[in-house]
């Protein structure tokens, strides 16, 4: 087994399921990364995010101390519930390595670790300083990358996520909020004395669905169209009451360049228009909203994108920048003013699945990419 695959196997053996999904968290994997780099003589810093859950930062000096590249990968995984393979046994079969996190995103992490370690061991100084950041909590609340971004200065960042070795410059953002319709309670034998919040909410949902259909016609060239999904509904106390409250939670995916505030204003208007026609009914979006994460939208002619595309072309891979619908740590780095890309081995369709795996040849190629990128970016 090659060194990068051996490291990946070690990482898969460590259970780093996010505590939000009942796991032990990232302490053990952080200790592994620290030991790995201490052995090869690189400076390691731990950045506490939650008690016992640190980001691990590793610095490889460059020729120009004024310029810095961040390589970022998250160390947590989603839960192992429902998995049909042993989650922490890195079995290799037919060119794939199986296990929780093998694809999302321990393979990307292993390639970044070996890019740094191999350059250091060969005594090669890249043009820019490299900061490897192994961050906690991507799969739940992004607190690891948010902590990382505090006071961070860098000229480019690559974030490891499965992109099938494509360079991703655009990801959708997300807005999650709770919409509440208030009505008036009454006895169900005299419904005309009340105002039925569930009935009104049904109209709000119908309006949201019509609105989502209209959005489907306006596709962003890299990410496709914005979407909206109603994921939760709650309302009513018992069948012989007219319900005075109904709530839904929606998940709205934002396009690059789209502001969450604009989408919220649009939905407030839509809710008001539905409720205004119904006496005794009032609708609102609950504040604060549940989640806002704006999209990633790195210019395709930026230096980081052009460098990454040139390296992919050198390797005989597709150099065209593309977009993905999923969110990750990259948008937070971009918001901190760091031009950021997403890149990694494996397919997002294999992430979070019951039999997660990674194609091992893609892992080797991704390592080659990371090394070449660090040597090419000035
Ligand atoms: Zn991930």
What integer is the mean pLDDT of 257-280? 96
CB 137 within 8 A of CB 74: yes
Helices 107-121 and 27-40: crossing angle, nearest 10°? Answer: 20
Distance 101 CA to ligand 1 centre (A): 8
* 348 exposure class (CB count in 10 Å sphere: 0-12, 13-18, 19+): middle
Distance 103 CA to ligand 1 centre (A): 8
pLDDT band of residue 116 (cuts 50, 70, 90) is very high
Distance 329 CA to ligand 1 centre (A): 8
Which helix (DSSP H) or strand (DSSP E) does residue 171 occupy?
A: strand 168-171
205 pLDDT higher than 90? yes
Helix (H, G, I), strand (E, B) or coil at 26: coil
Q: What percent of the chain has pLDDT over 90?
A: 98
Token pair for 370: 């990371």
| pLDDT confidence of residue 315 | 98
Distance 89 CA to ligand 1 centre (A): 19
What integer is the mean pLDDT of 302-317? 98
pLDDT in tens, 35-82: 999 999 999 999 999 999 999 999 999 999 999 999 999 999 999 999
| pLDDT confidence of residue 110 | 98
Residue in the block written with tokens 């991703």: 168
Distance 160 CA to ligand 1 centre (A): 7
pLDDT band of residue 248 (cuts 50, 70, 90) is very high
Distance 303 CA to ligand 1 centre (A): 25
Distance 39 CA to ligand 1 centre (A): 27
Distance 33 CA to ligand 1 centre (A): 18
pLDDT band of residue 102 (cuts 50, 70, 90) is very high
pLDDT in tens, 76-87: 999 999 999 999
Distance 275 CA to ligand 1 centre (A): 40
Calpha distance 73→9 (Å, rounded): 16
Helix (H, G, I), strand (E, B) or coil at 218: coil
What is this structure's pTM?
0.89
Distance 194 CA to ligand 1 centre (A): 48
Distance 165 CA to ligand 1 centre (A): 14
- Mean pLDDT of the chain, nearest integer: 97
Calpha distance 300→166 (Å, rounded): 13
**What distance lies between CA 35 and its chain's CA centroid?**
27
Distance 352 CA to ligand 1 centre (A): 9
294 pLDDT higher than 90? no
Distance 224 CA to ligand 1 centre (A): 20
Q: Which residues lie at CB < 5 A from ion ligand 1?
A: 104-105, 161
| pLDDT confidence of residue 62 | 97
141 pLDDT higher than 90? no
139 pLDDT higher than 90? yes
What integer is the mean pLDDT of 276-296? 95
pLDDT band of residue 219 (cuts 50, 70, 90) is very high
Distance 345 CA to ligand 1 centre (A): 11
């Amino acid at each position: 087994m090659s060194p990068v695959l051996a490291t990946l196997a070690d990482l898969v053996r460590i259970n780093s399921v996010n505590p939000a999904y009942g796991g032990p968290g990232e302490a053990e994997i952080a200790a592994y990364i620290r030991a790995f780099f201490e052995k090869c003589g690189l400076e390691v810093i731990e950045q506490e995010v939650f008690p016992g859950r640190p980001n691990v930062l590793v610095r490889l000096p460059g020729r120009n101390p004024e310029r810095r590249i961040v390589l970022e990968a998250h160390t947590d995984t989603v839960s192992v519930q429902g998995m049909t393979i042993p989650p922490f046994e890195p079995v290799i079969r037919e060119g794939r390595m199986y296990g929780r996190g093998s694809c999302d995103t321990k393979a990307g992490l292993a390639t970044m670790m070996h890019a740094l370690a191999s350059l250091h061991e060969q005594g090669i100084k890249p043009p820019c300083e490299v900061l490897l950041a192994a961050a906690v909590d991507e799969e739940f609340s992004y607190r690891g990358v948010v902590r990382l971004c505090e006071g961070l200065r860098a000229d480019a960042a690559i974030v490891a996520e499965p992109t099938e070795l494509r360079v991703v410059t655009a990801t959708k953002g997300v807005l999650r909020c709770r919409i509440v319709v208030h009505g008036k309670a009454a006895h169900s034998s005299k419904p005309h004395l009340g105002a039925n919040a569930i009935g009104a909410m049904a109209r709000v949902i119908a309006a949201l669905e019509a609105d989502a259909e209209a959005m489907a016609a306006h596709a962003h060239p890299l990410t496709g169209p914005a979407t909206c999904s109603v994921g939760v509904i709650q309302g009513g106390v018992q069948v012989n009451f007219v319900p005075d409250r109904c709530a839904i939670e929606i998940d709205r995916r934002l396009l690059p360049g789209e502001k969450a505030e604009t989408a919220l204003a649009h939905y407030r208007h839509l809710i008001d228009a539905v409720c205004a026609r119904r006496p005794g009914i009032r609708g609102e979006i609950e504040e604060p909203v549940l989640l806002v994460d704006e999209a990633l939208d790195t210019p395709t002619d930026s230096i980081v994108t052009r460098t990454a595309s040139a390296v992919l072309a050198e390797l005989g891979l597709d150099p065209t920048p593309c977009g993905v619908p999923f969110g990750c740590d990259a948008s937070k780095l971009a918001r901190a003013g760091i031009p950021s890309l997403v890149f990694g081995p494996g397919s997002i369709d294999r992430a979070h699945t019951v039999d997660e795996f990674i194609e091992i040849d893609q892992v080797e190629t991704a390592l080659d990419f990371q090394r070449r990128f660090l040597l090419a970016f000035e």
